[in-house]
Copies of this chain bind each other. A is one copy, B any other.
Amino acid sequence: MSDFNKQAGSLSEKAGISSPEITNVSAINQIKFKRRQQPTATELIAGILEGNRTSLSRAITLIESTNPEHAEKANEIINGCISHANKSLRIGITGVPGVGKSTFIEAFGTHLTQLEKKVAVLAVDPSSSISHGSILGDKTRMEELVKDENAFIRPSASGENLGGVARKTRESIILCEAAGFDTIIIETVGVGQSETAVHSMVDFFLLLKISGAGDELQGIKRGIMEMADAIVINKADGDNIKRANQAKVEFNRALHLFPPKKSNWQPKVTTCSSITKDGISDVWNSILDYFEMTKETGFFQEKRNEQNQFWMMETINEQLKQNFYNQPEIISLLEQNKKAVQNNEISPFAAAQLLLNQYKKSF
């Protein structure tokens, strides 16, 4: 834009001739003003620490951006917020599509804001870049919560890989905490690997289920049940109450087959209705019991320390791989070697060594 000021501008065809009327000077000035207006990292940090939602939203947008300049600014903001973060309770909620995650979070979140909690709802949904935000994308599903001034709802970052999407959500948690949100809910779909990623960033992990006609346990990934600190059977209302109670018994029996958790917490199975609100306060009370117990035993802090180390190492390991596999020479050599390995011309180990040697040479 500096040339624009020095010269007469490309719109003024000759010197001495004034700009034609069609040039909207005020529009140009507005654009210039807006560009100038982009808040600095320092301004965004100040805004976040004051609890300003616009600053928070803008900073999360920077985290989600693929522009390297934005990434740098986002890192500056995170570092400015980190000492003010870490003071919330982080709750992960998973469940396959159809269990009513959005309506549950609406009821649960509203219950919390009524208790004067400040609730941020984030999501990890690697499929959202394909489906254009299946989770939380449709904010109208949380009509009440979205209007609640003590709630902040943000759909999943999009991205090609789960690692990236999860990292962005994990970074956003820091900003939400610095902005004063004391309860962070992370939603994810109960399919694929995203629950493991969410499990590694929350203090408490809740599995949402509904009662089904057939075998309750069929098709549940045992890994998810092992991670759960609570199983909540949703939609326990009307004709469904009896079946929900049956499901509760079955899940309770199944849970007792698992070895005891490292936290020594015995996961509870409860029923609830997001419509009648029955059982919603029980869910929260059970979570409070968990926090009381694990803070007393020290498990709470221990788990957070482990999670932080996990994210540090995970970020390093991911970056090491990306640096390697994105190198143009490696890309073509990898293809050649995959074929050679397939044809038994070279062992997988010798092929790996060959690629690593080539990579070393490139420095």
Complex CA–CA separation, A309 to B222 (angstroms): 28
The answer to whether A341 touches B317, judged by C-beta atoms less than 8 angstroms apart, is no
Find chain B residues with CB under 8 A from A317 CB: 317, 321
> Does A33 count as interface, using CB distance less than 8 angstroms?
no
Which stretch in A97-105, A144-152, A265-273, A348-356 binds the other chain?
A348-356
- Inter-chain CA distance A262–B345, complex, in Å, is 27
Flag whether A69 is at the interface (Cβ < 8 A). no
Interface of A is mostly: helix
* CB-defined contacts of A54 to chain B, threshold 8 Å: none
> Inside 8 A of A85's CB, which chain B residues have their CB?
344
A145 to chain B, nearest CB (A): 28
Is there an interface contact between A350 and B316, defined as CB atoms closer than 8 Å?
Answer: no
Q: Which residues of B have CB within 8 Å of A288? A: none
A215 and B257 in contact, given A316-B355, A352-B316 (Cβ under 8 angstroms):
yes
A363 on the B face (CB < 8 A): yes
Q: A257 contacts which chain B residues (CB < 8 A)?
A: 215, 217-219
Question: A219-B259, A257-B217 are contacts. A75–B344 as well, Cβ < 8 Å?
Answer: no
A83, A312, A315, A337: most-surrounded residue (chain B CB, <10 A) = A312
Flag if B259 contacts A352 (CB, 8 Å). no
Asked if A311 is at the interface of the complex by the 8 Å CB criterion, the answer is: yes
Interface size class of chain A, counting residues whose CB lies under 8 Å from the partner chain? 35 or more
Q: How many angstroms between the C-alpha atoms of A353 and B322 in the bound complex?
A: 13
Interface residues of A in 299-346 (CB under 8 A from B): 305, 308-309, 311-313, 315-317, 319-321, 324, 337-338, 341-342, 344-346
Structural contact, A350 and B79, CB atoms closer than 8 A: yes
Chain B residues with CB under 8 Å of A356's CB are 316, 319-320
Please, how many angstroms separate the alpha-carbon atoms of A324 and B321 in the complex?
Answer: 11
Query: Is the pair A348, B223 in contact by a Cβ cutoff of 8 Å?
Result: no
Q: List 18 A-B contacts (CB under 8 A).
A: A79-B346, A82-B345, A82-B347, A83-B344, A170-B349, A171-B349, A218-B257, A308-B348, A309-B341, A309-B348, A312-B337, A312-B341, A312-B352, A315-B353, A319-B356, A320-B320, A320-B321, A320-B356
Residues of A participating in the B interface, judged by any CB pair closer than 8 Å? 75, 78-79, 82-83, 85-86, 167, 170-171, 174, 215, 217-219, 222-223, 257, 259, 305, 308-309, 311-313, 315-317, 319-321, 324, 337-338, 341-342, 344-353, 355-356, 363
